[in-house]
Structure 1
């Protein structure tokens, strides 16, 4: 180690180490503490950070975190923030959204969100988010986005409220973790179809400063797109007419739409689930490419399939999750079109625990989780 140049250690070796190791290395010397705590080193660490799988366990009182890039490492558990205090109100905890490095945790009382927290599973730290008065009117969906240029995690809150003549208005609010404030975006989209209401939404996806939402899946098959930086609506995207919409997500930096393939509905005992990836070429021609299709038995049990990420070092082995009496992980080989159980992940099916993807990060909030 003494013969290795300092520049190599600081720029090539340290950024590839796990967050827990780097936190311990802050005690080595003042110079290492300053280096590891700097925003420049954090950005360098982003490029090599391990991916994490986060879910809820033990009656939604604990976060369970798995290292996706080192699956043989045992998972670690941490409680939700302020759980003891909020449990007196008998609220339900849930993961509302995730982004590159964080998960958004919500405490839900009947018909409203009581508390919001940004949680970094790597540093076991969190930041509480103010829930404003009148915050719980109408239907609500959340998205999460990390602004790397400004080291700012932003929560996107989209809600609707009644106007008149069966019309509804969408309200978009953005929370900045850097200034700890919400800001109302005045731009509103007026819609007339009842299927455009938030209650008909299954998901919101955030990608590259854009927020994607799907409405009216039975009629127009369109994806709304809101630009966070420009604070305006972009042109809608039409998704493949072959599928009945279920959900949208982000896979390997691309927008995906998941749904039941209606082109193969002859067999009433089975359903075909397909995943399509959106591609926008240099000529701005929008195209969809089918990534995978899975045939599932229709036994009266609601089943869903969602891709999570490619396995480390592979571009044809896709880690997915499915809900068939409980969420569980499986690996799908895109070449051989075979689904297998990933034995390296010691997880069991959980009824309400969706798996969320994020990455390790050295960003630390002021709140500390128990055991941190």
Structure 2
């Protein structure tokens, strides 16, 4: 009788109310709730519901849907086919990284190395040698993209809202001052050529990841090398128009830096810096690493507002003079109260603007050996939980078969 009464109660709740309630739940719960009844399974599989749930995941303010993933390739005594997932919420609230769960990688060769291409709306694009995969760590679904790729190619991954489709952009070696560009569309499941990238790959700052924000992919390219140091451009590729544009950059030589330089009888040309792009909650952020300069090695962090204007968030001092890019504190994400999660070669740390200090971050679980390895910079990334399928063009019944209980 109790179960019948409970079922009757659920049936009396308006469909719109059930939709609003379920859309606010995390992906892991929704995967389980697909088994409650046929109507819930149909609802949770509906593309419009998935978009609504994703909207709430992006909008929540306490990082409960945002995760850190660690790829274990090259780490001592670890299974290369497994990645570990950690809660960003625990990082900023408990100042530690307890491993939430391990998840198998979509590898075809257990001995191969997985590289991170990009993430968008819960989907992660991975590179395995000459193969590209789209993968959802929350549902464990994956899709191998068609066509073999080159070892020297560069990639970006993002979402084109104008056609409701996900795209992978491939930059290929080409003669001259440009390089060939191909675009993969998930719905069509094929590649096609588009306009050339207006820079040669030998000027491409490939040590820094491509990022996706606000409907565009962003790259950092080398503009010139000279006696005054290296100069950089930020280039955007609009996924809707498929056009390249150069993005205005912030004022790297702010009043604080310039006044210190003037006090030493030097000019802005004495500042040597490297640019890194990061995306936090859908906003494009830029980190400028100042190295080997009289004002002290440090990082400046800017965020781009909706009107395209850069706002400086923080100045993060380094604990010692930096001379090589491997020593930089790479920014992973940051909270609204001035805490920045940073990674540098063999450790993770939180920098607090209020305390003006670094705090080493202990890791527990799947990636304990992480701090023993010589470099983690290319093995740790962030993503948001979602139920978006990498098999985006499949019908509902086919997608349902591929969902795995997380």
Matched, 1:208 2:208: no
Alignment of 1:206-285 (within 5 A): 206-216=212-222, 218-242=229-253, 244-261=273-290, 265-266=293-294, 271-279=297-305, 281=307
Describe the SS at the equivalent of 2:304. strand
- The number of residues matched between the two structures is 342
What corresponds to 1:45 in structure 2?
53
Describe the SS at the equivalent of 1:316. coil
Query: Any stretches of 5+ residues in structure 1 without a counterpart?
Result: 109-113
Matched, 1:125 2:141: yes
Aligned partner (choices 354, 372, 391) of residue 335 of structure 1: 354
Q: Given the superposition, is the C-alpha separation of residues 149 and 76 from structure 1 closer, same or farther in structure 2, using an over 3 Å criterion?
A: farther
Q: Given the superposition, is the C-alpha separation of residues 100 and 309 from structure 1 closer, same or farther in structure 2, using an over 3 Å criterion?
A: farther
Structure 1 runs (4+) greater than 6 angstroms displaced: 369-372
For 2:274 and 2:363, the matched residues in 1 are separated by 32
In the TM superposition, what is the alpha-carbon distance from 1:128 to its structure 2 partner? 0.5
In the TM superposition, what is the alpha-carbon distance from 1:330 to its structure 2 partner? 2.3
For 2:139 and 2:384, the matched residues in 1 are separated by 11
Asked whether the equivalents of residues 156 and 172 of structure 1 are also in contact (C-alpha less than 8 Å), the reply is yes
Q: Given the superposition, is the C-alpha separation of residues 238 and 310 from structure 1 closer, same or farther in structure 2, using an over 3 Å criterion?
A: closer
Q: Given the superposition, is the C-alpha separation of residues 25 and 252 from structure 1 closer, same or farther in structure 2, using an over 3 Å criterion?
A: closer
Q: Given the superposition, is the C-alpha separation of residues 148 and 342 from structure 1 closer, same or farther in structure 2, using an over 3 Å criterion?
A: farther
Aligned partner (choices 69, 91, 99) of residue 89 of structure 2: 69
Describe the SS at the equivalent of 2:317. strand
For 1:51 and 1:309, the matched residues in 2 are separated by 10
For 2:216 and 2:300, the matched residues in 1 are separated by 24
> After alignment, is 23-32 or 353-362 more displaced?
353-362
For 1:160 and 1:40, the matched residues in 2 are separated by 39
In the TM superposition, what is the alpha-carbon distance from 1:149 to its structure 2 partner? 6.1
What corresponds to 2:150 in structure 1?
136
Matched, 1:154 2:167: yes
In the TM superposition, what is the alpha-carbon distance from 1:237 to its structure 2 partner? 2.3
Alignment of 1:1-372 (within 5 A): 2=9, 5-7=13-15, 9-49=17-57, 50-57=65-72, 58=78, 60-69=80-89, 74-83=99-108, 86-87=109-110, 90-108=111-129, 114-132=130-148, 135-136=149-150, 139-147=152-160, 150-163=163-176, 168-189=177-198, 196=203, 198=204, 202-216=208-222, 218-242=229-253, 244-261=273-290, 265-266=293-294, 271-279=297-305, 281=307, 286-298=309-321, 302-311=326-335, 315-324=336-345, 326=346, 328-342=347-361, 347=367, 348-349=370-371, 350=373, 351-352=375-376, 353-365=378-390
| TM-score normalised by length of structure 2 | 0.73
Describe the SS at the equivalent of 1:14. helix
Asked whether the equivalents of residues 276 and 292 of structure 1 are also in contact (C-alpha less than 8 Å), the reply is no
In the TM superposition, what is the alpha-carbon distance from 1:300 to its structure 2 partner? 7.2
Q: Given the superposition, is the C-alpha separation of residues 41 and 117 from structure 1 closer, same or farther in structure 2, using an over 3 Å criterion?
A: same
What corresponds to 1:111 in structure 2?
none
Query: Any stretches of 5+ residues in structure 2 without a counterpart?
Result: 1-5, 58-64, 73-77, 92-96, 224-228, 254-271, 392-398
In the TM superposition, what is the alpha-carbon distance from 1:60 to its structure 2 partner? 3.7
Give the number of the structure with larger relative contact order, counting CA–CA contacts within 8 Å between residues 6 or more apart. Answer: 2
Higher helix share: 2
Q: Given the superposition, is the C-alpha separation of residues 230 and 364 from structure 1 closer, same or farther in structure 2, using an over 3 Å criterion?
A: closer
> After alignment, is 142-151 or 343-352 more displaced?
343-352
> After alignment, is 30-39 or 221-230 more displaced?
221-230
Q: Given the superposition, is the C-alpha separation of residues 339 and 100 from structure 1 closer, same or farther in structure 2, using an over 3 Å criterion?
A: farther
CA deviations 1:153-181 (Å, max 9, x no partner) are: 22122233223xxxx31222221222211
Q: Given the superposition, is the C-alpha separation of residues 21 and 201 from structure 1 closer, same or farther in structure 2, using an over 3 Å criterion?
A: closer
Q: Given the superposition, is the C-alpha separation of residues 309 and 260 from structure 1 closer, same or farther in structure 2, using an over 3 Å criterion?
A: closer
CA deviations 1:89-108 (Å, max 9, x no partner) are: x4322222222311111112
CA deviations 1:238-283 (Å, max 9, x no partner) are: 3444461142121233222223225x8237xx622222223463xx
In the TM superposition, what is the alpha-carbon distance from 1:195 to its structure 2 partner? 5.5
Q: Given the superposition, is the C-alpha separation of residues 277 and 63 from structure 1 closer, same or farther in structure 2, using an over 3 Å criterion?
A: same
In the TM superposition, what is the alpha-carbon distance from 1:336 to its structure 2 partner? 3.2
Asked whether the equivalents of residues 117 and 210 of structure 2 are also in contact (C-alpha less than 8 Å), the reply is no
CA deviations 1:117-151 (Å, max 9, x no partner) are: 1110010110101124xx427x4222111345655
